[in-house]
Amino acid sequence: VTDIIAVFNAGSSTLKFSVFRHDDFSLIHNGTLEVPDSQDGHKKALQQALGWISAHKDGLKLHVAGHRVVHGKDRAKPEKITAKILTELKTLIPLAPLHQPHNLRVIEELAALHPELPQVACFDTAFHRTQPKLASMFALPRRFYDDGVKRYGFHGISYEYIASVLPKYAGDKAKSRVIVAHLGNGASLCAMKNLQSQATSMGFSTLDGLMMGTRCGTLDVGVPLYMQQHLNMTTDQVTDTLYHKSGLLGVSGISNDMRTLEQSDAPEAGEAIALFCHMAAQHCGSLMSILGGLDALVFTAGIGEHSARVRREICHYLTWAGLSFDETLNQKNATQIHAKGSKIAAYVIPTDEEIVIARACRMIS
Ligand code: AMP
């Protein structure tokens, strides 16, 4: 019988489920389960996952379960879940209404089915807790900060993975001034020094910063006020517009999927991709000032790992700063895509959030 770690990443319509050996972290299974749109949708998907484990011919024993939890507030490390921690994490639902309830539901369902099983939560916010205070502040009246209205940052599990492997790719540069571009359906940038987060483009909510698949990214806050006050949109309509109808989907009017847009001849598709790169370059510039320059830029996640066009456009914006780009390497999705002699190195490194959660499970349980 093999001891295993199960890793869950619960979204609104899917439950990603990975299984690792407990002794050497080798991957046994990786899959995505559909969550039916019903009260017990997550429970059914979880039962399917547990069914997969118990039906496995080699005999697997579930030792510990790890979960991606989007919001951990001020927590800087993963935590073993207790009833008390679960209650605290539920109070954060208003801070991440699209993700947190699903993440916690799976933890609760699993605890009901297996009360003795140790469970570990890894937080997308945790990696950013090394940021200096200024990077986490809004210029609002002070009492809002004290009430938790501040910049938390997200995609921290992905950034932690990149930080863990970057020295292997970039040598000494890894510890200098680095920007990691996590460009997936959700997207953000993280500025690192000494492999620690110094600033990030996402803030209080998962809306801020880069343009995304369906989210708008940085937006003049006067716009949602105008929508409510003068366009007679309700709070729900504004929320739905900003989270689900904007970004690549909203600007192209075609799709939230970069692959579809790259294959389209419609001018709106081209404009959506151009705006995506424009906003990414703008935020790079902003983070470069905080870092005092840049030594390495890392692309990761679905778009970052696979879209040669997006990488080329973003890198072209950084020519002024000394990034010289090798299009042949870029077309090959090579690990290193800068030209010889470039002042700024550019890398393509696949992320692996699941392995970060699996490692945390073994450390903690
Ligand atoms: P993620 O959220 O990390 O799974 O990334 C999803 C995004 O990556 C979607 O916009 C996909 O269209 C995009 N993506 C995946 N593969 C490719 C590809 N070969 N070329 C361009 N975009 C891709």
The per-residue pLDDT for 161 is 98
Active site residues: 124
This prediction has a pTM of 0.96
Name the residue of 162, 185, 206 to mutate for ligand 1: max ligand atoms within 8 A of Cβ: 185
The per-residue pLDDT for 155 is 97
With a 6 A CB cut-off, is 262 part of the ligand 1 pocket?
A: yes
Mean pLDDT of the residues in the chain = 96
With a 6 A CB cut-off, is 305 part of the ligand 1 pocket?
A: no
Neighbouring residues of 362: CB distance < 8 A, sequence distance ≥ 6: 5, 22, 25, 64
With a 6 A CB cut-off, is 259 part of the ligand 1 pocket?
A: yes
Specify burial of residue 11 (Cβ count, 10 A radius: 0-12, 13-18, 19+): middle
Give 79-105 pLDDT, tens digit per residue: 999 999 999 999 999 999 889 999 999
For residue 13, how many other CB atoms are within 10 A of its CB? 13
Residues of the chain whose pLDDT is less than 50? Answer: none
Give 1-20 pLDDT, tens digit per residue: 899 999 999 988 899 999 99
With a 6 A CB cut-off, is 247 part of the ligand 1 pocket?
A: no
The per-residue pLDDT for 97 is 87
The per-residue pLDDT for 57 is 82
Measure 234 CA to ligand 1 centroid, in angstroms.
32
Measure 61 CA to ligand 1 centroid, in angstroms.
34
Residue 312, token pair as written in the block:
């080329």
The per-residue pLDDT for 33 is 95
Name the residue of 68, 211, 259, 332 to mutate for ligand 1: max ligand atoms within 8 A of Cβ: 259
Are the C-beta atoms of residues 183 and 310 closer than 8 Å to each other?
yes
The per-residue pLDDT for 39 is 85
Which position has the token pair 């118990």?
54
The per-residue pLDDT for 230 is 98
Report the candidate in 108, 111, 92, 88 with the shortest Cα–Cα distance to residue 100.
92
Ligand 1 atom 18 nearest Cα: 306
